[in-house]
Amino acid sequence: MTAALILTAQALSASAQSASSLLEGGWNGKISVGQTELTLVFKFQPAEDGSLIATMDSPDQGAEGIEAELDASALPSVGVKVPSLSASFSGMLYRGSIVGSFSQNGLSFPLTLTRGKEVLNRPQTPQPPFPYRTEEVSFTNEAAGATLAGTLSWPVGCGLSIYGDAEGTAPAAVVMVSGSGQQNRDEEIFGHKPFLVIADHLARNGIASLRYDDRGFGESSGGDVENATTEDFMQDALAAVEFLRSSGRFSKIGVIGHSEGATIAFMLGARRAVDFVVSLAGPGVRGDRALTAQVNRIMELSGQPGMVSEEMYRQNVRLEGNSWLRWFIDYDPSDDIAATGCPVMAVNGSRDCQVISSLNLAAIQALLPPNERNFIKEYDSLNHLFQHCTTGVPTEYRSIEETVSPELLSDLSSWLTANFLP
């Protein structure tokens, strides 16, 4: 009996070692859900007893480290359960892959996992050497106790340094303001760096830019983030504008805002703080209306029945929302948009399901004071990030290789150079 137990223990140990050597590390694959592809990542890491600890990521949905249970007791069969999602994967090791299916809520999807970290192709991300200059800078919002760190990019030939002597003609400059949620200066999401791509394009076309890490994120420090609202973040953007203005280096200073950043851009425009405003997918209606439309459009595209009313949304926010969201649902941008007398470029994508173009861009166009230099455009088949897309749902963002539509980049630089360069 003792010998049999020892042999059994040795067999189990050998099985664990075999599973560890064959499965340890990361495995990724894609499932097709309707018109959308979702990447799933399973990670098997060794525990002290030699077994493997399993977790699952769904990077397209921003979910990481979901606890899972691995069953590799009958290799080459491999099973993984994800109790919190009522989901499972069942497959077979075959020529270096695990071929099987992923099941959830009674539905099953073919899934083949391959070893290694998924490499995301981002062909628009600028690579050195650059035909322009950059400088790391910092500025402060003294009232909030926030120090913001950023990157200033400017064209070659201007001889500019924000801290040094200026030579030649000072170009127009833009402050770039990101959307909701704490983000770095590149507005990075799923390996895409849209603000870096835009800054690179502008510098190559004679326009300087300042992009910065959001309050309390990246290299920026200080300031209350937990209780901050859009109005507080507007003060950070105003500090960026004043930083550039105080240098005396730039002929015109404007702001490019994306999503919530566009709301901030119009706030600055209404206060006569900037010479021009660029709204990229900016809200044009009250927050609760804009966000309810977003929820309903995403539900519709995801095949989920039912509609959420504005009152239902407001009740949910009152119960669970944070300070930012409670402020945002009550904010109506109409007055600030109507009070923005400087030239405005306002654009959106027809497949943006976060800031619905037919609702918001139309409102902005109706509210803006007449100005022959205004530029209003809806781009066909672009999503909230201004990528060409299939449906526009956020789960597509990661799988799309394009970071920013070349058409938008061209229109942006053309509008700026035509109106604001000497």
CA dihedral angle for residue 287, residue 289, residue 294, residue 300, rounded to 10 degrees: 170
Q: Among 365, 367, 364, 402, which residue's Cα sits nearest to residue 381?
A: 402
More reliable by pLDDT, 160 or 335: 335
* Residue 80 pLDDT > 70: yes
Q: What is the pTM of this model?
A: 0.81
Do 280 and 259 touch, CB atoms closer than 8 A? yes
Do 101 and 90 touch, CB atoms closer than 8 A? yes
User: What is the C-alpha separation between 307 and 201, in angstroms, rounded?
Assistant: 41
Percent of the chain with pLDDT over 90: 71
Q: Rounded to whole angstroms, what are the CA distances from 256 to 122, 175, 355?
A: 22, 6, 16
Question: Residue 162 has what pLDDT?
Answer: 52
Query: What is the sign, positive or negative, of the torsion defined by CA atoms of 214, 219, 225, 228?
Result: negative
Phi, psi of 45 (to 5 degrees): -115, 140
Q: 363-415 pLDDT, tens per residue?
A: 999 999 999 999 999 999 999 999 999 999 998 998 899 999 999 999 999 99
Q: Which helix H or strand E contains 411, and what residues bound it?
A: helix 406-420
* Residue 17 pLDDT > 80: no
User: What is the C-alpha separation between 349 and 247, in angstroms, rounded?
Assistant: 36
More reliable by pLDDT, 19 or 314: 314
User: What is the C-alpha separation between 161 and 152, in angstroms, rounded?
Assistant: 9
Fold of the CATH domain 24-115: Lipocalin (2.40.128)
Look over the chain and give the mean of its residue pLDDT values, rounded to a whole number. Answer: 90
Per the document, the length of the chain is 422
User: Residue 170's pLDDT band (boundaries 50, 70, 90)?
Assistant: low
Q: Among 58, 25, 37, which residue's Cα sits nearest to residue 110?
A: 37
Question: Residue 3 has what pLDDT?
Answer: 40
* Residue 259 pLDDT > 80: yes
User: What is the C-alpha separation between 203 and 183, in angstroms, rounded?
Assistant: 22
More reliable by pLDDT, 51 or 122: 122
Q: 322-335 pLDDT, tens per residue?
A: 889 999 999 999 99
* Residue 12 pLDDT > 90: no
For 132-420, give the CATH class.
alpha beta
Q: 143-153 pLDDT, tens per residue?
A: 999 999 999 99
- Residue 349, classed as helix, strand or coil, is strand
User: What is the C-alpha separation between 137 and 145, in angstroms, rounded?
Assistant: 17
Residue-range domain boundaries for the chain: 24-115, 132-420
Question: Residue 156 has what pLDDT?
Answer: 78
* Residue 220 pLDDT > 70: yes
